[in-house]
Amino acid sequence: MPDKKPTHEQGQLQLQFYDLRREAKLRQARDWFTQNYFVDSFEDSQRIAPFGSQEGTYLFMVLGYWEQACAFLNHGLLHDQLFFETSGEFFGVWDRVKPIVPKAREMFKQKLFLSNLEKAAERFEEWQKKVSPGSLEAMREWTKQMRSEKAKKEVDPLRRSRTPAPHP
């Protein structure tokens, strides 16, 4: 990663990408992804976010946004360190979709599917290990806890909101 300072243009472009994240529909998609997208396989992904469904649309909005942002990063239009210091969300997205990528690449004959997200995530992981050892493990543990809480709610969705029925 170059030690060069970010240019004014790189800073402006990064702010434009940040502004896109605030768009209402993309914000909904990112919220849905964070709260619901926990998969171990392509089949899990299709169950949670099937093609043509609202959830599938949300998934591809999130993936498309981060793939594009990471493409700009990988081609030098954004500054690695500035991006990494301010945009860790893309790594969390990659960490969650990583299990589906090999099958998706094979199935759609698209060997570059999410390749920009993958390359940026690999660099981010190395960078993060140097600047903040243990942070990735903490993030993964937090994600595991979120997944566990979601699973508990799915088993008994009324568990937290159930109020006792009045006795006659």
Query: At 66, is the pLDDT very low, low, confident or very high (cuts 50, 70, 90)?
Result: very high
Tens digit of each residue's pLDDT (9 = 90 or more) over 114-131: 999 999 999 999 999 999
Query: At 166, is the pLDDT very low, low, confident or very high (cuts 50, 70, 90)?
Result: very low
* Alpha carbon separation from 84 to 1, 25, 124 (Å, rounded): 11, 24, 6
Contact (CB, 8 A) for 95 and 36: no
* Alpha carbons 49 and 36: distance in angstroms, whole number: 9
**pLDDT over 80 (residue 164):** no
DSSP-derived 3-state class of residue 80: helix
Q: Can you give the pLDDT at residue 153?
A: 81
* Alpha carbons 116 and 122: distance in angstroms, whole number: 10
**pLDDT over 70 (residue 167):** no
Q: What angle do CA 45, 50, 54 make, to 5 degrees?
A: 115
Residue 49 is encoded by which pair of tokens? 């976010």
Strand (E) or helix (H) holding 31: helix 24-36
Domain boundaries, the chain: 8-141
Instruction: Indicate the pTM of the whole model.
Output: 0.84
Region 25-30: mean pLDDT is 97
